[in-house]
A and B are shown apart, each in its own frame.
Chain A
Amino acid sequence: MTEPTFHGNADQQVLAAQVFKIMTGQGAMFASETAIRQTLTNLADFFVAQKKAERSTVTTQIDAAMRANGAVFAREEHGEEVTYITSKQGSYQPRSEQNNHMFKRRLFEPEHPLPIDDISVVVTTTRPALTTVEPVFISDYWQRQVGILPEEELEGEQPDAEAVQAAPVDQVEQEEAVAEVLELVTAPIAEQPVVEQPVVEQPVVEQPVVEQPVVEQPAIKPPVVKQPAVVEMPAPVAPVAALVVGTMLTLPNGVQIDLRRPASDLMSQYGATLVSQLRSKLDSDPLRRIVMFGSDAFPEMQVANFGKNDLRRIRDYIQQERQQPLLDTEIIADLFYHNPRQADYEAFRFALNYRLSKEKDFEFVGVEGARLWSAKGLPALGSKRVKASDLGQITGYIEEGFDDSLQDQSAEMIRKSGQLSHVLTFFEWEYGVLPLTRALAALLPTPLLAEQRTAVLRFDSPQRFTSALVELRYPTGNRGGSLTGMEEFFHENLVPGALLTIARTAEPQVFTIAYEEQQEATDRLLMLDEKKNKFAFVNLPYFVAVDEDMLVNQQRYGRLRNLKSLPMNERRKSEDVLEHVFDIIGEPVGTRTEPRNMAAANNLLVAMNVLRPTSRSFLEHLLKEGDRFEADGGRDGVWFYTPEVVEATQQNTDDEYDDDDDDY
């Protein structure tokens, strides 16, 4: 506590200091800003006893000293009695209430209010929104948040003393509020007699203002002049608020879109991203509010349930009665008797597909536009001679990038024309398999579901009036895809080297397979005798136009009869297969001690395709990478192979070369 500076002459300063000491001693236990009151009479009694002087003289001296130090001692008169007021701070300031942290305010004007989308959540719509503050039904804050109460109205309430007191936050604002209170108490007395009453009853507050203008007042007053400026605030607030509302939406992948643009514009520019992001969000929604099947979305709440009996009926119908994958529309029509004209047909169809996709006993084998379902235990389509896993690895070279199927026809052309041409190789003909090259993939439908592994297609032959169900295996990882199930059709109608045309139809899962017919021709063609597990040439008539280079006849590829029919798991090893093929089809150009074979790449390609599917680019890759292969510098497309010298087996190998006709 610092002692204030006293004014007046020397005696008055001493006297004032004594009075201040007496009064602060009297209020030793008071708070620093609490008023300490003492009457002139009491002070006079004390000093008369001390100074042994005349009472009237002492009274006059005290009063003069107090008046000279009006900044320290406020003066009050109650009739005849004069009272001086000070505090331990050195002067008395009326206390200002800072109540902006009161529970009432924190309740109605929280610092971090929860967002509300709709005012109806907070306010009952049956009661009109209040525009005045009197019985507070809705806080001003919330009314301002939802735009019911404009800023002007709120500011218009400022004359309310309580509202004025609520505003100050820092010290300067607090001082403003004090000044406002003082003005409100003094100035509008004539206008507001109601406010005047407490002033008369409690002149404590009024006195210092009216009779003794506080020294600090001029410093406080200027902010009071600012009051009209506060009233004018709403004008600039509106545009600022409008600018603050952001319209840039950031997608989970970081892409920003402006929501002021029409939805169609945004879809045309960011359609793929927006769809995939929404799809992934719907899939990860823990509440599963909207569920998906393929590209269709539907609220989970409305998806019909299928009981165990329903699922058993469907499974039995597919497995035992029809014994083939069935369309969802067939299942609905045959088992549930729903008519497509019924209003809930599409919803029921969605429910069937969605529920079956969640069952382990069913597998989706359809495509977009034809939702086929297969049941567990249904016989597999295609040849059992080649396992799906072996075939996936054998055709893996396509996924490695060694696919030259688009050299003669572009993917765009295939999509546009809806058909492609293909020359059948021996392996494809023998096992009824077509590797899923990029050319074929451009024609065939893509999987509808993310986890879909296979699709069942129907291949119709308009020339033979036959059809076959074909399994389309989609590539996974480094395993290639394939079409299987055409073994019977190939063996009955075609030969290796035949030129095929595959075309799509109006139905998404139906394709046609055609070939060019010609006059009957007979040739000695390579065949695989499964019982003896060896290759042989046999006379075979055929009626189809062929690519002579790919026709595996005895005249051109006679050496292939010595080819070993390697087990499928060995055919995965493309390098070993090539060495074996080169050893068989190559022309010996070396010596017995230094054997060397020579072969043209075209012949190697045909021979390789007897044992496993191989593209030209993949063959070239194997030849270039192999240590034992060497290109002929002078002749393009001619390669040499230097086999490993094994004395014991060399004799046997030489003996195996036998160009005599087989009697098979």
Chain B
Amino acid sequence: MDAKNIEYGETALDKLAQMLRAGGQPQDITKLTERYLEILREMVQSEQQRASAS
């Protein structure tokens, strides 16, 4: 996904919630934010790879 289309705090929130559910434990907001950034980063990178492959 292009970073321009990302709404911080809205895009991929389901993924974040899913990750949190899988953990089964409450998580500190700082760690959660870092994990959220990683998710967004992965989305942008995968889009870049697709674009370069095509």
Contacts and interface: CB of A to CB of B under 8 A. Distances in A.
Contact of B24 (A274, A281, A344): A344
A339 B27 CA distance: 20
Contacts of A244: 2, 51
Interface string B32-45: 11111110110111
A239 B48 CA distance: 10
A275 B36 CA distance: 10
Contacts of A280: 9
Given A241-B52, A246-B44, A250-B8, 17 more contacts: A115-B5, A151-B54, A241-B51, A245-B51, A248-B3, A252-B8, A259-B45, A275-B30, A278-B8, A281-B10, A289-B14, A290-B32, A297-B27, A297-B28, A297-B32, A302-B24, A347-B24
The 9 residue pairs across chains A and B that have the minimum distance between CB atoms: A281-B9, A263-B37, A296-B26, A241-B51, A147-B50, A242-B52, A350-B26, A298-B26, A289-B17
Contact of B1 (A117, A274, A278): A117
Contact of A279 (B26, B27, B29, B47): B29
Contact of A267 (B5, B30, B44): B30
Interface in A334-391: 343-344, 346-347, 349-350
Contacts of A242: 48, 51-52
A146 interface: yes
B37 A347 contact: no
B41 A263 contact: yes
Contacts of B17: 289-290, 299, 301
28 contacts: A147-B51, A150-B53, A238-B51, A238-B53, A242-B48, A244-B2, A245-B51, A247-B48, A248-B4, A252-B9, A259-B3, A260-B45, A263-B38, A263-B41, A264-B34, A275-B29, A275-B30, A275-B33, A278-B29, A281-B8, A281-B10, A290-B16, A292-B29, A297-B28, A298-B26, A301-B17, A301-B21, A347-B25
Nearest to B44: A259
Contacts of A278: 8-9, 29, 32-33, 36
Contact of A246 (B4, B14, B33, B37): B4
A271 interface: yes
Contacts of A293: 26
B28 A296 contact: yes
A297 B51 contact: no
A251 interface: yes
Contacts of A117: 1, 43
Contacts of B21: 299, 301-302
Interface residues of B, number: 41
A655 to B, nearest CB: 67
A350 B24 CA distance: 11
A124 interface: no
Interface of A: 115, 117, 144, 146-147, 150-151, 237-239, 241-242, 244-252, 259-260, 262-264, 266-267, 271, 274-275, 277-282, 285, 289-290, 292-293, 295-299, 301-302, 343-344, 346-347, 349-350
A250 to B, nearest CB: 8
Nearest to B51: A241
A154 to B, nearest CB: 10
B48 A277 contact: no
B29 A245 contact: no
A296 B27 contact: yes
Contacts of A296: 26-29
Given A238-B52, A267-B34, A251 B13 contact: no
A290 B15 CA distance: 11
A146 B47 CA distance: 9
Contacts of B30: 267, 271, 275, 295
A245 B48 contact: yes
A102 B20 CA distance: 47
A249 B3 contact: yes
Nearest to A148: B54
Nearest to B6: A249
A451 to B, nearest CB: 17
Given A263-B34, A277-B9, A292-B29, A299 B20 contact: yes
A302 B22 CA distance: 10
A343 B25 CA distance: 9
A106 B25 CA distance: 48
B53 A245 contact: no
B51 A347 contact: no
A115 B6 CA distance: 12
A238 B29 contact: no
Contacts of B35: 263
A267 B13 contact: no
B38 to A, nearest CB: 5
Contacts of A249: 3, 6, 8, 40
A259 B29 contact: no
A297 B29 contact: yes
Q: Count chain A CB atoms within 10 A of each CB in B1, B6, B26, B27 and give the residue with the most.
A: B26
Contacts of A247: 3, 44, 48
A552 to B, nearest CB: 49
A297 B26 contact: yes
Contacts of A298: 20, 26-27
A126 B37 CA distance: 32
Contacts of A144: 54
Given A247-B44, A267-B33, A278-B33, A289 B13 contact: yes
A346 B26 CA distance: 7
Contacts of A274: 33, 37
B7 to A, nearest CB: 8
A251 B1 CA distance: 16
Contacts of A279: 29
A298 B4 CA distance: 28
A511 to B, nearest CB: 25
A299 B18 CA distance: 8
A228 to B, nearest CB: 21
A132 to B, nearest CB: 17
Given A259-B44, A297-B20, A147 B54 contact: yes
Contacts of B34: 263-264, 267
Contacts of B29: 275, 278-279, 292, 295-297
A475 B26 CA distance: 30
A278 B52 CA distance: 31
